[in-house]
Amino acid sequence: MTYVNTTSQPKERRFTSPLKIAEDQMLIGLTLLGQVSYLMWRTFGYMIRLQIDWGESVRQGYMIGVKSLVVVGITALFTGLAMSLQISRELVSFGADTSIGGVVSLALVREIGPITAGVIVAGRVGSSIAAELTTMMITEQIDALKVMRVDPIRFLVVPRYTAALIVIPTLSTYAMFLGLLAGIFIAKSAANVPPDTFLDSVRQTILDRDFSVHYLKSIINATVIIFFSCAIGLNTRGGAEDVGIATTRAIVWTMISIFILNFVVTSLTYAPR
């Protein structure tokens, strides 16, 4: 009897050049941008014609917004505490303690509020959407919708985007408000600045255009989170392993896009005071 050695032999490792890796990632990125653009075009068409499932939109609003309140609140509160403490100590050392409110509120309105809500929702909701839609693709539920002549974009994407356009700006405002409360507390406890002085500085610093930038960033974040997550979920096939890959890809691409677009909006909307 002849015995075959079934002991696994070490496989030869092939070196992948950094240029090849960069080329592959660029190709993935361009493909994803094309998928996102197509998804946006179809979704906006349905929304313009008001072909929206409002009941499903309300349910998605609860899933995206209400269930994110606690985690967004905790993150915004402690981010505001840490940022306010650092700013307060620096400004007190320069004798500019009366400017604490203005500096803290400007950072909260233009940057911290939208970024905090966007990143948390991207991690909690974007990953969930990508995993859910990928699972539906793998189990052929999407194909079943098409057989029943139900457009998956109208049924799955439009309600999520409609809900996100409402709840994500609301979460950004919520994060901004909690950060402001943290700033008032830190200014009083660490720099002995009364709340009235803090709020006077806020009123003198914050302009209407700052709130416009805040809500513009929030809408952009909502658009990025929903369309990137849905595009990845609806274009992934394979097995159980691909669900994890799609989830990771959705988080990475969504967060990278949020930070890049945040910088772009900040640079385009900056104006001397």
Q: What is the largest CA-CA distance in the chain?
A: 93
- With beta carbons less than 8 A apart as the criterion, state whether 114 and 218 touch: yes
pLDDT band at 236; cut points 50, 70, 90: confident
Under DSSP, is residue 206 helix (H, G, I), strand (E, B) or coil?
A: coil
**117-175 pLDDT per residue, tens:** 999 999 999 989 999 999 988 888 888 988 898 899 999 999 999 999 999 999 999 99
Domain boundaries, the chain: 54-265
pLDDT band at 273; cut points 50, 70, 90: low
**What would the mean pLDDT of 207-225 be, rounded to a whole number?**
93
Check residue 8 and give its pLDDT. Answer: 43
pLDDT band at 87; cut points 50, 70, 90: confident
pLDDT band at 16; cut points 50, 70, 90: low
pLDDT band at 9; cut points 50, 70, 90: very low
pLDDT band at 5; cut points 50, 70, 90: very low
Check residue 77 and give its pLDDT. Answer: 92
Check residue 146 and give its pLDDT. Answer: 87
- Among the residue ranges 7-16, 98-107, 185-194, the one predicted with the least confidence is 7-16
Check residue 15 and give its pLDDT. Answer: 58
Answer positive or negative: Cα dihedral of 147, 148, 152, 156. Answer: negative
pLDDT band at 14; cut points 50, 70, 90: low
Under DSSP, is residue 22 helix (H, G, I), strand (E, B) or coil?
A: helix
Under DSSP, is residue 162 helix (H, G, I), strand (E, B) or coil?
A: helix
Asked if pLDDT for residue 85 goes beyond 60, the answer is yes
Distance CA 103, CA 21 (A): 42
Asked if pLDDT for residue 13 goes beyond 60, the answer is no
Check residue 140 and give its pLDDT. Answer: 86
Mean pLDDT value across the chain:
87
- Helix, strand counts (H, E) of the chain: 12, 0
- With beta carbons less than 8 A apart as the criterion, state whether 36 and 228 touch: yes
Percent of the chain scoring above 90 in pLDDT: 51
Check residue 74 and give its pLDDT. Answer: 93
pTM for this model (two decimals): 0.87
pLDDT band at 7; cut points 50, 70, 90: very low
Check residue 4 and give its pLDDT. Answer: 39
**38-72 pLDDT per residue, tens:** 999 999 999 999 999 999 999 999 999 999 999 99
Cα separations in angstroms, 97 against 45, 180, 198, 247 = 52, 16, 9, 45
**192-207 pLDDT per residue, tens:** 888 898 899 899 888 8
